[in-house]
Amino acid sequence: MAKMKNSARILIVTLLLLFTPLFLHQPSFSQSSVERIPKDIAKAPLPKLLDFGRGKCIPCKAMAPVLKELSEEYKDRVMIKIIEIDQEPNLTRANRIRLIPTQVFFDGKNQEIYRHEGFMDKEQIKAVFQKVGVQ
């Protein structure tokens, strides 16, 4: 019995030593929100939607026309930008993108307010806009 307890303790300590460094190097959401938003839209005091994807991804391709329509419909009220993850690896890493497409919503002060992974239809996006007070 004592041998089993010692073995379990050794296993736990070994696992902690192996995996702790992985968690210590993860990017933090406490990073400046400006680092997480493209410079060309970070200064605008409007809510923002960043859509992270890749042009070859089928759900990402399906998102493109939806985002284009919403860009026109919400012009001067919301900034919408498609981020190609291959072209913006630092931005992708800073936003901890794990799956594409991922939509990250920011308020006018550049604070993240909502995140969705996978395809998101027009009505779902509009519902998030309404929740943050965009008419």
Query: How many CB atoms are closer than 10 A to CB 13?
Result: 10
| Cα–chain center distance at 33 | 12
Tokens standing for residue 122 = 């027009």
The DSSP symbol for 38 reads -
Residue that has been written with the tokens 């969705």 in this structure = 116
Q: Of residues 41, 42, 44, 57, which has the active-site annotation?
A: 57
Q: Of residues 37, 50, 60, 80, which has the active-site annotation?
A: 60
Question: What does the alpha-carbon distance between residue 48 and residue 14 come to, in Å, rounded to a whole number?
Answer: 44
Q: What amino acid occupies position 24?
A: L
Rg (CA), the chain: 20
Q: What amino acid occupies position 72?
A: E
For the question of residue 66 being annotated catalytic, the response is no
For the question of residue 60 being annotated catalytic, the response is yes
Active site residues: 57, 60
